[in-house]
């Protein structure tokens, strides 16, 4: 009969063994159990495996060197062989008849059970490395407990402080690439264009034409023929302004040389310029010019001018100046508000690259309001406040006298005061006022060594004698009832509120 051999390893448990048995269709299953696999250690384990074999219509047997499994096999009716060869040579009893009823444990079975328990304990023993670790932890635990109970002290010192006032002379230029301890700061160039519009009332005056001058001319025929002249014929004058008149009526001139008619006329342009003396109208325009003779026998009158408000030179210059100042102010304001970094503009460096204006009126033009739009392009320098701050920090640290240290958070500086600006090389010079609090350095390790094991009063006296503070130090002991300073340096902490 075919027998399926299932080799178990040391990690197989009951579930994995059952899983291996379910996928074998043969009638006989031999489980080869190694000596280090202790998964089958109870009667119920072997019975559950036997039920799986029966469910698949197979007969179960074991091959192992574990003596305890031989005893379990007798109790459950499962044949247990010492070797695989013995299992192949010997007959397997019918499991339906060989299963024995449970009986009271025999002496041998109790011995086997004890041997099995001993093997289990041996397998579950801790490695030597873990034993050493646990032993070390157990030894250190009392020491840690003692250290935890050792008192510790916190001493708050108040060293004497004084204010140090400094004056930093600096220079800035686009030629400097990085800040230096000599007081040099890079300056950065910016060019910006803006436009603005404003309006002011005009203050000047000018004359404008009002009424048209009028009069009469005599037109004399120079031909033998009669002529018909329509109205609104243009009449020329000898005036340098090219002033013209026009006839107001249509007339007919009788035939014959020397025949004439008088015709009313009016100036084509209003104003005083139309008031002309006699003999000022000299000819008639058009095809009649060579046929007729024209002249005014009397003066033309009635032309008048009126005074109105107009743009004066001062109006133009005033509005232009206002717009220029406003644009420069807007440039500085917009630069500060739109800057991605903190910038300090140097107003003295502001330079107008170009300013153009457009207006609704020119100087002398009549009008009540002058409207002007100005577009300007400006060149200026600015300083980076972060670089100024770094220069201040470096300068202040270098200015601390030996044996002193800076009090945390006490450094303050004013905004840079620009004293001069050289246009040619774009060199900025100025000063920055700096103030910081400093205090004498405290020898913490020396104080700790001096007060080890002393009483609170003795420690206060020792610290006061070191002249490191101008106030009585505050000593806090834990536990609170303790009055001796710790004997371990690490249990004493010195705090200085002014210095980190």
Q: Is 232 exposed, middle or buried (0-12, 13-18, 19+ CB in 10 A)?
A: exposed
Q: Is the peptide bond before 222 cis (omega within 30 degrees of 0)?
A: no
pLDDT of residue 331: 83
Beta bridge partner(s), residue 486: none
C-alpha distances in Å from residue 417, one per residue of 179, 218, 319, 396, 447: 18, 85, 32, 18, 45
Delimit the domains of the chain by residue range.
Answer: 3-123, 152-159+442-495, 163-202+311-439, 208-306
The Cα 88–Cα 90 span in angstroms is 6
Give the pLDDT score at 98. Answer: 42
Task: Write down the pTM of the prediction.
Answer: 0.47
- Residues contacting residue 36 through CB under 8 Å, at least 6 positions apart: 10, 123
Q: What is the DSSP string of 5-63?
A: EEE--TT--HHHHHHHHHT--SSEEEEEE-TT--S--SHHHHHHHHHHHHHTT-EEEEE
* First-last CA distance in the chain: 89
CA distances from 5 to 24, 54, 56, 92 (A): 9, 16, 15, 14
Q: Give the pLDDT confidence score for residue 348 in this predicted structure.
A: 84
- Determine what percent of the chain falls in helix, strand and coil, rounding each to the nearest 5: 30, 35, 35
The pLDDT of residue 158 is 76
Angle at 385 between CA 170 and CA 190, to 5 degrees: 90
Please return the burial class of 159, using the count of CB atoms within 10 Å of its CB with bins 0-12, 13-18 and 19+: buried
CATH architecture of residue range(s) 208-306? Beta Barrel (2.40)
In whole angstroms, give the CA distance from residue 219 to residue 344: 83
Residue 411: per-residue pLDDT: 92
- Which of the four CATH numbers 3.30.750, 3.30.450, 1.10.1200, 3.40.50 does domain 3-123 have? 3.30.750
Q: For residues 89 and 413, what is the distance between their CA atoms, to the nearest angstrom?
A: 104
Alpha-carbon gap, residue 393 to 112, rounded angstroms: 85
Where the chain has pLDDT below 50, the residues are 95-103
Q: Are strands 184-201 and 161-173 parallel, antiparallel or unpaired?
A: parallel
Which residues, in sequence order, are CB contacts of 370 under 8 Å at separation 6+?
199, 200, 201, 202, 311, 315, 316, 319, 359, 360, 361
Asked whether 217 and 263 are in contact (CB, 8 A), the reply is yes
- Grouping H, G, I as helix, E, B as strand and the rest as coil, residue 359 is strand
Give the residue from 272, 293, 173, 283 showing the smallest Cα distance to 222.
293
pLDDT, one tens digit per residue, over 327-378 is 988 887 777 665 555 778 888 888 888 999 999 999 989 999 999 999 999 9
Query: CA-to-CA distance for 330 and 451, rounded, in angstroms?
Result: 66
Calculate the dihedral angle through the C-alpha atoms of 350, 354, 358, 359, rounding to the nearest 10 degrees: 40
Contacts of residue 327, defined as CB under 8 A and 6 or more positions apart, other chains included, come to: 194, 195, 196, 355, 374, 376, 378
Cβ(28)–Cβ(6) below 8 Å: no
Residue 246, pLDDT score: 94
Burial of 111 (0-12, 13-18, 19+ CB in 10 A): middle
Rounded distance between C-alpha atoms, residue 276 and residue 262, angstroms: 17
Q: What are the φ/ψ torsions at residue 437 (nearest 5 degrees)?
A: -95, 135
The answer for residues whose C-beta is within 8 angstroms of residue 180's C-beta and 6 or more apart is none
pLDDT per position as a tens digit, 87-117: 888 878 664 444 444 445 556 666 666 676 6
């Amino acid at each position: 009969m075919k027998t399926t051999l299932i080799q178990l390893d040391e990690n197989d448990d009951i579930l994995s063994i059952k899983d291996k048995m379910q996928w074998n269709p043969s009638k006989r299953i031999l489980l080869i159990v190694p000596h280090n696999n202790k998964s089958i250690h109870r009667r119920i384990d072997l019975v559950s495996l036997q039920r799986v074999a029966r469910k698949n219509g197979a007969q179960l047997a074991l091959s192992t060197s574990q003596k305890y499994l031989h005893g379990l096999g007798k109790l459950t009716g499962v044949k247990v062989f010492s070797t695989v060869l013995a299992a192949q040579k010997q007959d397997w009893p019918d499991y339906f008849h060989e299963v024995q009823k449970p009986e009271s444990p025999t002496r041998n079975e109790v011995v086997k059970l004890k041997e099995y328990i001993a093997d289990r304990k041996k397998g579950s023993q801790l490695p030597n490395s873990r034993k050493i670790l646990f032993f070390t932890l157990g030894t250190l635990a009392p020491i840690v407990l003692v250290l935890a109970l050792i008192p510790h002290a916190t001493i708050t010192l108040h060293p004497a402080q004084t204010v140090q006032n400094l004056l930093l002379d600096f220079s800035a230029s686009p030629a400097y690439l990085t800040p230096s301890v000599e007081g040099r700061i890079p300056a950065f160039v910016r060019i910006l264009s803006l436009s603005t519009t404003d309006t002011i009332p005009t203050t000047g005056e000018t004359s404008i034409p009002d009424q048209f001058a009028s009069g009469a001319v005599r037109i004399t025929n120079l031909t033998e023929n009669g002529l018909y002249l329509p109205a609104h014929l243009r009449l020329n004058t000898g005036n340098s302004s090219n002033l013209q008149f026009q006839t107001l009526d249509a007339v007919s001139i009788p035939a014959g040389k020397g025949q004439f008619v008088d015709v009313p006329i009016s100036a084509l342009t209003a104003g005083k310029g139309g008031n002309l003396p006699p003999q000022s109208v000299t000819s008639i325009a058009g095809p009649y010019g060579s046929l007729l003779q024209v002249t005014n026998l009397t003066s033309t009158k009635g032309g008048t001018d009126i005074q109105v408000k107009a743009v004066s030179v001062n109006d133009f210059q005033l509005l232009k100046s206002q717009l220029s100042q406003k644009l420069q102010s807007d440039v500085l304001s917009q630069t500060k508000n739109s800057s991605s970094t903190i910038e300090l503009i140097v107003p003295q460096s502001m330079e107008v690259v170009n300013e153009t204006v457009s207006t609704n009126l020119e100087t002398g033009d009549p009008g009540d309001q002058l409207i002007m739009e100005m577009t300007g392009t400006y060149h200026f320098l600015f300083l980076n406040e972060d670089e100024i701050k770094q220069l201040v920090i470096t300068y202040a640290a270098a200015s601390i006298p030996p044996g002193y240290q800076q009090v945390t958070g006490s450094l303050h500086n004013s905004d840079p005061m620009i004293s001069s600006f050289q246009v040619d090389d774009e060199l900025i010079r100025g000063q920055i006022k700096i103030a910081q609090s400093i205090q004498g350095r405290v020898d913490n390790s020396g104080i700790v060594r001096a007060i080890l094991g002393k009483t609170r009063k003795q420690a206060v006296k020792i610290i006061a004698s070191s002249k490191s503070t101008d106030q009585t130090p505050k000593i806090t002991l834990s536990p609170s009832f303790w009055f001796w300073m710790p004997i371990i340096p690490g249990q004493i902490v010195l705090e200085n509120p002014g210095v980190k």
